[in-house]
Amino acid sequence: MISHDRFSLRQSEDQLDVMVRWALRSNMAGASPPSHNWDRIRDRLRRRGKRGGFYQDWRRFREFLDALLKKDLFFPPQQNYCFECSVKNSMEQHWPYLFVCQLELPMVWAKVV
């Protein structure tokens, strides 16, 4: 197994490290953005008006969704007992068992007769 702990301890750097650092820094020496860059950022922000963005929009959407769910618009609670509903629910839950029973019932009936 290779240990790469030398990268955590910078004091063990060698000539290659020095050369790579020097090459990168000499190529980037004096690199700075043009002065008008900040003006563009500020203009874009002012044009857009108050702070917004995806994160805030997403937060607002989630709050809106939470409010909707609390009002039970999508999933209304079954406050009143409904016999038909309960039968339908139980049939939906146990349909394979009912299906089997339905197949066997005539045979059972025939035996009884």
Partner 1 sequence: MAAGMTADSRLITRIRDGDIEALGDLYERYKAQVYRTALAITHDERMSEDILQETFLRVYNYADSFDTSRPLGPWLYRITVNLAYSWTNRAKRWVSFFQGAVERLKAPDHLYPERVAEERERSQALQQAIDTLPTPQRVVVILYYLEDLSVSDIAYVVGVPEGTVKSRLYYARKKLKEAIVERGQGVKPEVVYDFT
Residues at the contact surface with partner 1, assessed by CB under 8 A: 1-8, 12, 14-17, 19-34, 37-38, 40-42, 44-46, 50-56, 59
Pick the closer one to partner 1 by CB: 46 or 71. 46
Instruction: Give the nearest distance from C-beta 37 to partner 1 in angstroms.
Output: 6
Q: Rounded to an integer, what distance in angstroms lies between the CA atom of residue 30 and that of residue 21?
A: 15
Instruction: Give the nearest distance from C-beta 70 to partner 1 in angstroms.
Output: 23
Q: Rounded to an integer, what distance in angstroms lies between the CA atom of residue 61 and that of residue 68?
A: 11
Pick the closer one to partner 1 by CB: 42 or 94. 42
DSSP annotation of 10 reads G
Residue 81: what residue type? Y
Pick the closer one to partner 1 by CB: 16 or 110. 16
Instruction: Give the nearest distance from C-beta 64 to partner 1 in angstroms.
Output: 17
Residue 110: what residue type? A
In total, the chain counts a number of residues equal to 113
